[in-house]
Structure 1
Amino acid sequence: MDLETGCYYHLYNRSNNCERLFRNTDNYLYFLDNFRNRFEDLLSVFAYCLMPTHFHFLIKVETREIDQLKQHIGIQLSAYTKALNKALGRHGSLFQQHTKAKLIDDQAYLIRLLSYIHQNPIRAGLVKDLKSWPFSSYLDLAGYRNGTLVDHSLVKREFGSVEKFRKFSERSISI
């Protein structure tokens, strides 16, 4: 995985064999709390969505310690796997071996990706509207919740208002 300071990335991974990564609300919150604690000084999060079998983050690398950041990504996934394995009495890997980090170097694509990430639960048939999925940053960025994981500066800069962001986000986006 190639990462560079100051660049935006679509960071994502999925489970092996479509196994559920998150079995209940506590699993989702545990993953997010650990993510926040592990990465708060290394990167900025502009969007995220945790799905039952995969996750998406739109991040910007802030640290110059790229090797440390890569190591922390691996630690995040192995620590979550270890906790879930212990809770469920299971063994073995949970995530696919390589977390993907796609460089986002086009501003228009960056904005489409912001919406695409939030629309994952709708496309998967889990919910009918964006407000109904609690495990994404949409609720925070759209002003429905006061979470502290996501950086709102991208939405403020590109949309100017929460209302414009909401309208944009409700349109179906494909990437």
Structure 2
Amino acid sequence: MPRKPRAEYESGLYHVTARGNRREAIFVHDTDWRRYLALVGRVTIWNRWRCLTYCLMSNHVHLLIETRTPNLGFGMQRLQGTYAQSFNSHHDQVGHLFQGRYWATRIESDAQLWVTAAYIASNPVEAGLVRVAAAWPWSSHAAILDETGPPWLDRNRLLEYFADTGGDPLKRYADFTEAYANLKGLSL
């Protein structure tokens, strides 16, 4: 029996995750990480998405995506399918790379977005891979803090959500992610 299509929305904001099949690595070499990020960029542009933040881990990914039309499923199918084919070709493998479909949680409030952005930033710290989130090379956290990053990363859009309550949105983002980490016993 076919799966029901997921609900998608005009101007939807989503925390998207995808995990390797059997929780195995989906990135082996630096070229894999770079290839996936390049695909995220292309799919973001093709689908007119806004990618607000991301974090790639060895066996899963986190993306914070804002869509303008209900096309998340189409874009994720293209992203995951293209990457899986490329990975299998480069590593002489066959079969599934990802464990089922991606997961997408719709973000419905600024508070939920703040927590999600902080959660994504803190992932490599929680996993014990780095001591500070900005040191993880496969996350947008450092790029958000120091205004670098690929052109498809919409840092300004992310910071708009942190500007709604006044004050410097970058400071608010940095302070909130640090407070989140402190609550979890981490340091960013």
Give the TM-score normalised by structure 1.
0.89
Amino acid at match of 1:145: T
Match of residue 113 from structure 1: 116
**Match 2:171 to one of 163, 170, 175:** 163
Moved more, 155-164 or 134-143: 155-164
Match of residue 55 from structure 1: 61
Query: Structure 2 regions of 5+ residues with no counterpart?
Result: 1-5
Q: Distance in 1 between matches of 2:44 and 2:175?
A: 30
> Post-superposition shift, 1:157?
4.5
> Post-superposition shift, 1:49?
0.5
Match of residue 86 from structure 2: 83
2:50 matched to 1:44? yes
Match of residue 3 from structure 2: none
CA distance 1:132–1:73, change in 2 (3 Å): same
Match of residue 129 from structure 1: 132
Q: Distance in 1 between matches of 2:74 and 2:170?
A: 35
Contact between 2:44 and 2:152, CA under 8 Å: does it hold in 1?
A: no
Q: Secondary structure at the match of 1:105?
A: coil
CA distance 1:70–1:43, change in 2 (3 Å): same
Q: Secondary structure at the match of 1:9?
A: strand
> Post-superposition shift, 1:144?
5.7
Amino acid at match of 1:39: T
How many aligned residue pairs are there?
171
Q: Please list the CA deviations of residues 9-53 of structure 1 after superposition, one character each: whole Å capped at 9, or x if unmatched.
A: 111110111110111221111111111112214311111111100
Give the TM-score normalised by structure 2.
0.83
Contact between 1:47 and 1:57, CA under 8 Å: does it hold in 2?
A: yes
CA distance 1:140–1:71, change in 2 (3 Å): same
CA distance 1:146–1:125, change in 2 (3 Å): same
Match of residue 18 from structure 2: 13
> Post-superposition shift, 1:2?
1.9
Q: Distance in 1 between matches of 2:15 and 2:162?
A: 18
2:12 matched to 1:4? no
Contact between 2:51 and 2:152, CA under 8 Å: does it hold in 1?
A: yes
Aligned-residue CA RMSD (Å):
1.8
Match of residue 22 from structure 1: 27
Query: Structure 1 regions of 5+ residues with no counterpart?
Result: none
Match of residue 153 from structure 1: 157
Contact between 2:145 and 2:174, CA under 8 Å: does it hold in 1?
A: yes
